[in-house]
Chains A and B, each alone.
Chain A
Amino acid sequence: NAGVTQTPKFQVLKTGQSMTLQCAQDMNHNSMYWYRQDPGMGLRLIYYSASEGTTDKGEVPNGYNVSRLNKREFSLRLESAAPSQTSVYFCASTSWQGNQPQHFGDGTRLSIL
């Protein structure tokens, strides 16, 4: 049972390049999330999907887009990467938002030069 799987684990981009971070969960969870974690800033919610077919903005959505491809998969896209988007990105999922804990993937370490 893999839980929450994120790909890639590491990536270096040049300013202006685009890329998509992939996330898949095999726990039959309804809700999925994308966070970024920066030193001294804690975990900040970028976007979330409370259930298949819905997506909503979190605290820091600017510069990002998301797609809930199906119940298992939730991707995060950077259309034109900027150095300020250098961070560690975590995907998480939970069975039901509002009550159950979230389970995290291993993270993607992204550097924008």
Chain B
Amino acid sequence: QKEVEQNSGPLSVPEGAIASLNCTYSDRVSQSFFWYRQYSGKSPELIMSIYSNGDKEDGRFTAQLNKASQYVSLLIRDSQPSDSATYLCAVYNAGNMLTFGGGTRLMVKP
């Protein structure tokens, strides 16, 4: 079992819809969670950090964390074609190493 799992997609949503991206992790002691966006041919860009159970909102982005279920998600409201990218979930494990999921490719269709 991979330490951080994501559905590779592609996840296709129409413009204006809510995109829901999910991530599960295996290390119960993980405390720090991040979402990165990576456009094709570019480097990963941090878009959200979350450390506590519940929701954290930043503009059109909401990160949700449920430590009991070992689940973290990213919601993108009013999705735009410019949101089309690969989204990487990253989690610090017990060894203080940041482990990345394989990424979910999101396609927002006009």
Task: List residues of chain A with CB under 8 Å of any chain B CB.
Answer: 33, 40, 42-43, 45, 48, 50, 58, 90, 94, 97-107
Q: A102 with B98: in contact, given A42-B103, A43-B88 (CB under 8 Å)?
A: yes
A43 touches B44 (CB 8 A): yes
Which residue of A is nearest B4, CB measured? A42
Which residue of B is nearest A42, CB measured? B102
Chain A proximity mask over B31-47: 1 for CB below 8 Å, otherwise 0 = 11010000000111110
Quote the shortest CB–CB distance from B52 to chain A (angstroms). 13
Interface centre among A42, A50, A97, A104 (most CB of B within 10 A): A42
Chain A proximity mask over B80-110: 1 for CB below 8 Å, otherwise 0 = 0000000010101000111011110000000
Chain A residues positioned under 8 Å from B90 (CB to CB): 101-102
A42 touches B32 (CB 8 A): no
Quote the shortest CB–CB distance from A5 to chain B (angstroms). 12
Alpha-carbon distance between A107 and B42 when the two chains are bound, in angstroms: 8
Q: Is B49 an interface residue (CB 8 A)?
A: yes
Give 20 new A-B contacts, CB below 8 A, not counting A40-B102, A48-B97, A101-B90.
Answer: A42-B100, A42-B101, A42-B103, A43-B44, A43-B100, A50-B96, A58-B97, A90-B43, A90-B44, A97-B97, A99-B31, A99-B32, A100-B32, A101-B46, A102-B46, A102-B90, A102-B98, A104-B43, A104-B44, A105-B43
Chain B residues positioned under 8 Å from A97 (CB to CB): 96-98
B88 touches A101 (CB 8 A): no
Q: Which 8 A-B pairs have the closest CB atoms?
A: A98-B96, A104-B43, A42-B102, A43-B100, A101-B34, A101-B46, A97-B96, A104-B44
A98 touches B92 (CB 8 A): yes
Chain B residues positioned under 8 Å from A105 (CB to CB): 43
Alpha-carbon distance between A90 and B101 when the two chains are bound, in angstroms: 16
Quote the shortest CB–CB distance from A87 to chain B (angstroms). 14
Quote the shortest CB–CB distance from A90 to chain B (angstroms). 6
